[in-house]
Chains A and B, each alone.
Chain A
Amino acid sequence: MSTATHKLLKGATGEWEMVIGMEIHAQVTSNSKLFSGASTAFGGDPNTHVSLVDAAMPGMLPVINEECVSQAVRTGLGLNAKINLRSVFDRKNYFYPDLPQGYQISQYKSPVVGEGEVQLELDGGRSVTIGIERLHLEQDAGKLLHDQSPTMTYVDLNRSGVALMEIVSKPDIRDAEQAKAYVTKLRSILRYLGTCDGDMEKGSLRADVNVSVRKPGGPLGTRCEIKNMNSIAFIGQAIEYEARRQIEILEDGGSIDQETRLYDPNKGETRSMRSKEEAHDYRYFPDPDLLPLEFSQSFVDELKAKLPELPDQKKARFVADLGLSAYDASVLVAERESAEFYETVLSGLANRARDGKVAANWVINELFGRLNKESREITGSPVNAAQLAAIIDLIGEGTISGKIAKDLFEIVWQEGGDPRALVESRGMKQVTDLSAIEKVVDDIIAANPDKAAQVKDKPQSLGWFVGQVMKSSGGKANPQAVNDILKSKLGI
């Protein structure tokens, strides 16, 4: 990896390089839990989505939910990863009140998905590949409620047993920007696949971030793990803080203790949660209640055949087929919903080859701009894809100018309606009647003989005439026609 792709931190003794690896816990999109039939719906009253298995009643046994396995395999395929046809569920043993069984069923030595990779695009057209070490399935724990009683802690087991995918990266990430880009990209892939909703606020996607620092190219340093990050912005801040904290200690001649830390976003700092010595001995061993997870290559192939187009593929197609710039294509594919919106606009266009690029500009500049201004999601856009396609069609066919189109967009945003009908009813149609334009041109030349005489020496003053014509036509004159007529009348 070239140093050009990442940022180094300056310390008193010179530059330092960050080495970052991440474990992402992504909640699997499924109707029921990993080993029970209880619902995974978010927001139920406490302990209303709990089966006997989730509550670890005596004699209860886990039964694997096949849909969760399919989702893990889909995700593995989306990460270009090796799918293991045989994997094993293990028990990770520890005591905690939110863990009814006294162990979490996870995959330790044999995960369902092996090595893969994710491509990141960074600012300035740089790109890096981050290796995926593995992906495994495991159960989520319940939730402790400390605010229900002054003397007691309550337990809500609704989440207990919900399927998580733990996606472990290789320590290939080199700075906060890459880390943020990695989570963003992974989230995007998961959402395209429909295997995780990626909702970080609801905790559907959480990251444990391992950070260490070293002199560029030097041996790896001791790492600290920052647990349970649920915001991409905080991940960036936490990494910066943690790396600087470590550099400071090392430059003062100290050493880093391997430990688990928590990030406090209010103070903008990480603090120690537990040291390596306090770390649990999880006593992993294969869960004897579950047979090894085995499936056939044809099961994988079937899932692969039905995989949706992923952001990287979609981007490549937008560039190749529609001539979009790599940057524009990246912006459009970053979110599944944006890409879907854009593609719906495309499918509504009369001439996709001609107007695909224009449509991209409209979506990125006008629509996203307007949405951002009002902090709205694309799924709640007042201008829908069909309306936007109609506006772009009207420009493309020369019925309205680009400028009028912006006014029209605003009207549709505010009031809704069929753009084509609005153009008719509000008289917004572009004037392409050449004799009408000629008349306006003649009038303006006649009224400004000095300027007309100068224009031969100063062709750039043609713009002034164009402006005058457009103004007196109320912006409706076809700009190309105005230009052509002016040029011939003025003899340039």
Chain B
Amino acid sequence: MTDLTSLTLAEARKGLAAKTFTSLELTDAHLSAMEAARVLNAFVLETPDQARAMAREADGKIAKGDAGPLAGIPLGIKDLFATKGVRTTACSKILGNFVPTYESTITSQLWRDGAVMLGKLNNDEFAMGSSNETSCFGPVGNPWRREGSNTTLVPGGSSGGSASAVAALLCMGATATDTGGSIRQPAAFTATVGIKPTYGRCSRWGIVAFASSLDQAGPIARSVRDAAILMRSMAGHDPKDTTSVDIPVPDYEAAIGKSVKGMKIGIPKEYRLDGMPAEIEKLWEEGAAWLKAAGAELVEVSLPHTKYALPAYYIVAPAEASSNLARYDGVRYGLREQGKSIIEQYENTRAEGFGAEVRRRVMIGTYVLSAGYYDAYYLRAQKVRTLIKKDFEDCFAKGVNAILTPATPSAAFGIGEKGGADPVEMYLNDIFTVTVNMAGLPGIGVPAGKDAQGLPLGLQLIGRPFDEETLFSLGEVVEQAAGRFTPARWW
């Protein structure tokens, strides 16, 4: 039965509909794969009983011909999503054994459409990180290794568990969130497809907040089509999130295979970094050539404020985080470390409950919002953000349909290799992705090739607001040209 795990979501959907296999069989195959892959530490909580119960229910519905669009499809859920009755921690000690009494809007839409929950996936603590090393449950292993090496690499982050589990065929797809690149960067590190939708496309209700104006959920999947299928269930207006947008959700899957002929694809010159590895450069050129071959027109564009994006991001995101994380005070839920006074209880609880990276960002955020510094930091960063947004708007106003960039400046690296001495080294991972969050645009990461060491590399396509469909069409072209990549199993 193990070969069931190698199907794409679209293939599994077909098999379930044709009753070639049941959801219970499909689910069990994934549960076994999860068990065998525990060394990857992708799942922080397995929910086999719930998975089987949901699978049986899906099988019943399929039998009655009453199946939802995701009926019987086993998925992994990033631990940032509140799941009713199932421990949700954001991979932080401070949430302890927090069990929500509520279900996030996105996961409830997935269950509405018949999906099956396999368990909760590892991530960087409160989604703060680019390597999944800040999780209180420990790092996640990337199913990919350098050729001829036994070094375990990071899967990227913060959605490292999601990317690793999808790449290792432990789940058919996963929910993820992206604040500065947390979907696209791990997708690139693991040869999976990940899309960060337009800000407001998916509800944030029930997702542990990191930086509210940047956070957006999306899927990590085995193929562009799978991502499109998942997107349709995840997207939609939610009256409980006033930043979600009330526009119809299109049939994203219909965009797969649609001609990209005549589309104008921008190549931003500012993304050509000094010292960029030649293989990244080559990958980018290759991607451009594939799109050109499919009939798209390539144009050089300028996004002049790109170089300010990362510094501005590391002001806005920590500022919002410092406030969003204030609620973890040990008073109502989660970890509580007693103290002699309430202030001491706060200090003890937060010192004990938050990891080093979270503490760093809370401190940065508190600093940049402080009286006397607000104008110099936060306000200026917001101005930069407006300029970055305008860069993209100018570009799209010239008829550009989408922008092609590398997803990351390098392939996956080893656990403990980066950011030890200088956190900025780690932050640079998001150099190509943060602009998209700052501008609230949709961005898709698609596997496009391998580096010299056999590690996957990805390309990013950035779209117009709410035009995820174009990204799926273009992503499909890249995927068709590059092929799909599966890691050799070593676990």
A343 to chain B, nearest CB (A): 42
Q: Summarize B's interface: helix, strand, loop or mixed.
A: loop
Q: Which of B238-246, B257-265, B426-434 contacts A (4 or more CB under 8 A)?
A: B238-246
- What residues of chain A lie closer than 8 Å to B43, measured between beta carbons? none
Instruction: Supply 23 A–B pairs (Cβ within 8 Å), ascending by A.
Output: A52-B101, A57-B102, A58-B98, A58-B327, A59-B82, A59-B204, A59-B205, A59-B208, A61-B204, A61-B205, A63-B242, A91-B323, A96-B342, A153-B342, A281-B370, A283-B322, A283-B366, A284-B369, A285-B319, A287-B212, A288-B213, A289-B242, A290-B242
Q: Summarize A's interface: helix, strand, loop or mixed.
A: loop
* Chain B contact residue count (CB 8 A cutoff): 44
With contacts A283-B369, A288-B212 known, is A61 near B326, CB below 8 A?
no
- What residues of chain A lie closer than 8 Å to B243, measured between beta carbons? 61, 288-291
The CB with the most chain A CB atoms within 10 A, among B205, B207, B209, B326, is that of B326
A472 to B295, alpha carbons, bound, how many Å? 118
| Complex: chain A residue closest to B215, CB-CB | A288
Q: Which residues of chain A from 49 to 94 have any CB-CB distance to chain B below 8 Å in the complex?
A: 52, 55-64, 91, 93
Structural contact, B208 and A61, CB atoms closer than 8 A? no
A101 to B206, alpha carbons, bound, how many Å? 15
- What residues of chain A lie closer than 8 Å to B356, measured between beta carbons? none
Structural contact, B326 and A102, CB atoms closer than 8 A? yes
B130 to chain A, nearest CB (A): 22
Out of A61, A64, A102, A285, name the residue touching B369 (CB < 8 Å).
A285
B93 to chain A, nearest CB (A): 14
| Complex: chain B residue closest to A291, CB-CB | B242
Contact with B along A289-302 (1 / 0, CB 8 A): 11100000000000
- What residues of chain A lie closer than 8 Å to B366, measured between beta carbons? 283
With contacts A59-B205, A281-B370, A288-B213 known, is A100 near B242, CB below 8 A?
no
Quick check: is A97 within 8 A (CB to CB) of the other chain? yes
Out of A64, A100, A281, A284, name the residue touching B327 (CB < 8 Å).
A100
Quick check: is A327 within 8 A (CB to CB) of the other chain? no
Contact with B along A197-215 (1 / 0, CB 8 A): 0000000000000000000
Q: Which of B55-63, B280-288, B329-337, B464-472 contacts A (4 or more CB under 8 A)?
A: B329-337
Quick check: is B278 within 8 A (CB to CB) of the other chain? no
- What residues of chain A lie closer than 8 Å to B81, measured between beta carbons? 59
With contacts A283-B369, A285-B369, A289-B212 known, is A61 near B241, CB below 8 A?
yes
Structural contact, A100 and B331, CB atoms closer than 8 A? yes
Structural contact, A95 and B369, CB atoms closer than 8 A? no
Quick check: is A155 within 8 A (CB to CB) of the other chain? yes
| Complex: chain B residue closest to A153, CB-CB | B342
With contacts A283-B366, A285-B369 known, is A63 near B240, CB below 8 A?
yes
Structural contact, B332 and A58, CB atoms closer than 8 A? no
| Complex: chain A residue closest to B90, CB-CB | A58
Structural contact, A101 and B342, CB atoms closer than 8 A? no
Contact with A along B73-94 (1 / 0, CB 8 A): 0000000011000001010000
- What residues of chain A lie closer than 8 Å to B205, measured between beta carbons? 59-61
With contacts A59-B82, A59-B207, A281-B370 known, is A101 near B327, CB below 8 A?
yes
Structural contact, B102 and A95, CB atoms closer than 8 A? no
- What residues of chain B lie closer than 8 Å to A465, measured between beta carbons? none
Structural contact, B369 and A56, CB atoms closer than 8 A? no
A105 to chain B, nearest CB (A): 11
Structural contact, B88 and A95, CB atoms closer than 8 A? no
B172 to chain A, nearest CB (A): 24
Structural contact, A93 and B369, CB atoms closer than 8 A? yes
- What residues of chain A lie closer than 8 Å to B331, measured between beta carbons? 97, 100, 155
- What residues of chain A lie closer than 8 Å to B101, measured between beta carbons? 52
Quick check: is A103 within 8 A (CB to CB) of the other chain? yes
| Complex: chain A residue closest to B331, CB-CB | A97
| Complex: chain B residue closest to A93, CB-CB | B323
| Complex: chain A residue closest to B371, CB-CB | A281
Quick check: is B348 within 8 A (CB to CB) of the other chain? no
Contact with A along B195-227 (1 / 0, CB 8 A): 000000000111111011100000000000000
- What residues of chain B lie closer than 8 Å to A62, measured between beta carbons? 242
Structural contact, B323 and A283, CB atoms closer than 8 A? yes
Structural contact, B240 and A61, CB atoms closer than 8 A? yes
A95-B343, A102-B326, A284-B369 are known contacts; what are 18 more A-B pairs with Cβ within 8 Å? A52-B102, A55-B332, A57-B82, A59-B205, A93-B322, A93-B326, A93-B369, A100-B332, A101-B326, A102-B329, A283-B371, A283-B374, A284-B374, A285-B320, A287-B212, A288-B211, A289-B243, A291-B242
Structural contact, A58 and B320, CB atoms closer than 8 A? no
With contacts A58-B88, A58-B95, A281-B371 known, is A103 near B323, CB below 8 A?
yes
| Complex: chain B residue closest to A97, CB-CB | B331
Quick check: is B104 within 8 A (CB to CB) of the other chain? yes
| Complex: chain A residue closest to B244, CB-CB | A61
Quick check: is B346 within 8 A (CB to CB) of the other chain? yes
Quick check: is B111 within 8 A (CB to CB) of the other chain? no
- What residues of chain A lie closer than 8 Å to B209, measured between beta carbons? 58-59, 289
Structural contact, B346 and A95, CB atoms closer than 8 A? yes
Structural contact, B342 and A58, CB atoms closer than 8 A? no
| Complex: chain B residue closest to A102, CB-CB | B326
- What residues of chain B lie closer than 8 Å to A103, measured between beta carbons? 323, 326
Out of A61, A102, A281, name the residue touching B242 (CB < 8 Å).
A61
Structural contact, A285 and B332, CB atoms closer than 8 A? no
With contacts A102-B323, A288-B212 known, is A283 near B370, CB below 8 A?
yes
| Complex: chain A residue closest to B350, CB-CB | A95
A280 to chain B, nearest CB (A): 10
- What residues of chain A lie closer than 8 Å to B241, measured between beta carbons? 61, 63
- What residues of chain A lie closer than 8 Å to B208, measured between beta carbons? 58-59
Structural contact, A56 and B327, CB atoms closer than 8 A? yes
Quick check: is B378 within 8 A (CB to CB) of the other chain? yes
A303 to chain B, nearest CB (A): 21
Quick check: is B138 within 8 A (CB to CB) of the other chain? no
A-B complex: 5 closest residue pairs judged by Cβ atoms: A102-B326, A288-B213, A283-B369, A288-B212, A56-B327
A57 to B324, alpha carbons, bound, how many Å? 11
A354 to chain B, nearest CB (A): 58
- What residues of chain A lie closer than 8 Å to B325, measured between beta carbons? 102
Contact with B along A122-144 (1 / 0, CB 8 A): 00000000000000000000000
| Complex: chain B residue closest to A96, CB-CB | B342
- What residues of chain B lie closer than 8 Å to A56, measured between beta carbons? 327, 332
A374 to B243, alpha carbons, bound, how many Å? 56
A291 to B440, alpha carbons, bound, how many Å? 14
Quick check: is B100 within 8 A (CB to CB) of the other chain? yes
A56 to B323, alpha carbons, bound, how many Å? 12
Structural contact, A58 and B371, CB atoms closer than 8 A? no
| Complex: chain A residue closest to B370, CB-CB | A281
Structural contact, B374 and A102, CB atoms closer than 8 A? no
| Complex: chain A residue closest to B126, CB-CB | A58
A183 to chain B, nearest CB (A): 31
- What residues of chain B lie closer than 8 Å to A63, measured between beta carbons? 239-242
- What residues of chain A lie closer than 8 Å to B240, measured between beta carbons? 61, 63
A52 to B240, alpha carbons, bound, how many Å? 12
Structural contact, B82 and A58, CB atoms closer than 8 A? yes
A359 to chain B, nearest CB (A): 51
A52 to B104, alpha carbons, bound, how many Å? 12
B251 to chain A, nearest CB (A): 28
| Complex: chain A residue closest to B333, CB-CB | A57
Structural contact, B327 and A102, CB atoms closer than 8 A? yes
With contacts A52-B101, A59-B82, A281-B370 known, is A97 near B342, CB below 8 A?
yes
Q: Which residues of chain B from 97 to 123 have any CB-CB distance to chain A below 8 Å in the complex?
A: 98, 100-102, 104
| Complex: chain A residue closest to B241, CB-CB | A61
A193 to B213, alpha carbons, bound, how many Å? 37
A336 to B375, alpha carbons, bound, how many Å? 47
- What residues of chain A lie closer than 8 Å to B242, measured between beta carbons? 61-64, 289-291
The CB with the most chain B CB atoms within 10 A, among A59, A60, A287, is that of A59
A100 to B205, alpha carbons, bound, how many Å? 17
A115 to B88, alpha carbons, bound, how many Å? 47
| Complex: chain B residue closest to A55, CB-CB | B332
A289 to B205, alpha carbons, bound, how many Å? 10
A55 to B98, alpha carbons, bound, how many Å? 14
Contact with B along A25-66 (1 / 0, CB 8 A): 000000000000000000000000000100111111111100
